Chain A
Amino acid sequence: MAATRARSTLVLALALIAGFLGAALLVIFADDAAAEVLPEDRAEVMYHSYSGGGVEVVGPAVFLRRGIGENLSFNATWYQDTVSGASPDVLATASPWSDQRDELDLGVDWLRGDAQLSAAISHSEEDDYRADGLRLSLAREVFGGMSTLSLGYSGGSDRVGRIDDDNFDESVDRHAWKLGLAQVLTPRALLNLDYEIVSERGFLANPYRSKRILGAFAGPEVYPGTRTSYALAARSRYYLRPGRSLFGGYRYFSDSWDIAAHNLDFGLRTPAIAGGNLEVYYHHYRQSAASFYSDDFQSEQTYMARDKELATYVSNSFGVRADYRLFAGRYGFQRGRLRVGLEYSRYDYDDYSDATDPAGDAYSFDANIAHLSFTGTF
């Protein structure tokens, strides 16, 4: 087993090195005559809110992008979550709490001809969790500008603690490799294909959650120390008329914990009054349970989890996003836009019950998700 794991790690490492050597060649031999462009300079502030399943999450976020010359652009994001309450799987054996998470992300994009190299670092911190990450990506237009090939790597290192135990100190290491293709199909249609492998090693459980055996909570969950997942997605957009498009996509996911999942999305974007835009969409998600998940185990096993995100369940979401042009050429901005997004989601579980509910029925909950933002472009 250890030899298999070592071989897999070696194959992934070699694939990564070969991929980046190839991608570096793509950048070195990029066509200087081609004219890719970097995203426009902008400042954005947002307030976001999530409410559902006993958990409330609210907070502000700020994004800044500023270019230096035509080939270099820097961006910074600050994102804050204030979490209160707790979901029923945690509430079964712990108290609700309030916690704040602050995330800082700094990135740079470098353009060379028809190739773009992006790099970013991130740091996130809360009372009982700290995460540091690195992202690298390379993208290049090929085939007469009909295709954009991209390759990405992200790595992270997390420290996991417990708010009530200073001696609890665990870690998680994460590596992800991604391959993407954006393809022009017709003068009106685009297709995106994305494939990603994510590998994690370390303490992957929630330190506050307990397993249940024969109806009684019996100490902390026990997870495998590794998880490797594979995801393949196909998405498309179709142009209808100026400002109006149809979009949709499908993703298949499987992992070494035996979870298989399907995502399906589709929606319509259309112009609205006064230079605004309206987008309506539907999102469907379903997954099968992890091999070591049970709402109530009948006996002790090597690995035991009672995380409802590892159960068998279905969710359906309906959402709307709208933006409205506030002004042009004022307050130091070329344009100012106000955006609002609302989403309603319903989650229905097959094999998870709320332990605080005496009836013991299969659990379900509704979630309301909203954001409001202002974007100014320079």
Chain B
Amino acid sequence: MLTDTVIRRRRALRPLAPLCLAALLGACAMPEPWVAPYQRGQLADPAMLWGGEPLADRFTQHVRDVRQGARGAAVTAGGGCGCN
């Protein structure tokens, strides 16, 4: 007998299923990188960075966390262009 909590948890994890499937398929038949390093100059532009202002980003996130019932999954700091 599944409790409501378990059912809710499984429902929330459901969006991850396509990602897991994609990762498994990707491991079997990994395609070649389709954007070469020399094509990534535009991705290194400062306008393409997430989280470039540590204090202002922390302030905005703090206000959102306090005023909203939801939390989590903020953008990964430093995640980015893969162009170094």
Contacts and interface: CB of A to CB of B under 8 A. Distances in A.
A150 B78 CA distance: 10
Interface in B3-50: 3, 5-6, 8-9, 11-13, 15-16, 19, 30, 32-35, 37, 39-40, 42-43, 45-48, 50
Interface of B: 3, 5-6, 8-9, 11-13, 15-16, 19, 30, 32-35, 37, 39-40, 42-43, 45-48, 50, 53-56, 58-60, 63-64, 66-84
Given A237-B48, A242-B45, A4 B79 contact: no
Contacts of A152: 76
Given A44-B54, A251-B70, A235 B75 contact: yes
Nearest to B13: A230
Interface stretch (A88-96, A126-134, A180-188, A215-223): A180-188
A228 B53 CA distance: 30
Nearest to A4: B3
Contact of B76 (A5, A150, A249): A150
Contacts of B73: 178, 194-196, 231-233, 251, 253
B9 A8 contact: yes
B82 A239 contact: no
27 contacts: A4-B5, A44-B54, A46-B56, A77-B58, A139-B76, A139-B79, A144-B33, A147-B82, A148-B78, A178-B72, A181-B19, A184-B43, A187-B39, A190-B48, A198-B72, A228-B9, A229-B71, A230-B13, A235-B50, A242-B47, A244-B47, A254-B11, A258-B8, A261-B68, A287-B68, A310-B69, A339-B53
A116 B78 contact: yes
The residue in B34, B48, B69, B76 that gathers the most chain A C-beta atoms within 10 A of its C-beta is: B69
A182 B82 contact: yes
A171 interface: no
Interface residues of A, number: 93
Contacts of B75: 192, 194, 233, 235, 249
The 9 closest A-B pairs by CB, nearest first: A182-B79, A180-B76, A144-B33, A230-B12, A231-B72, A253-B70, A231-B73, A196-B72, A261-B70
B72 to A, nearest CB: 4
A139 B78 contact: yes
Nearest to B2: A4
A51 to B, nearest CB: 11
Given A8-B9, A146-B35, A230-B9, A239 B72 contact: no
Contacts of B74: 194, 196, 233
Contacts of B33: 143-146
Contacts of B84: 34-37, 141, 145
The residue in A62, A232, A242 that gathers the most chain B C-beta atoms within 10 A of its C-beta is: A232
Contacts of B5: 4-5, 8, 228, 256
Given A63-B54, A145-B82, A188 B43 contact: yes
Contacts of B56: 46, 321, 339, 341, 371, 373
The residue in A187, A228, A252, A315 that gathers the most chain B C-beta atoms within 10 A of its C-beta is: A187
A369 B81 CA distance: 30
Contact of A148 (B13, B37, B64, B82): B82
Contact of A373 (B8, B13, B53, B60): B53
A77 B82 contact: no
A187 B35 contact: yes
A186 B35 contact: yes
A315 B67 CA distance: 10
A192 B50 contact: yes
Interface string A350-378: 00000000000000000101010101000
Contacts of A195: 15-16, 73
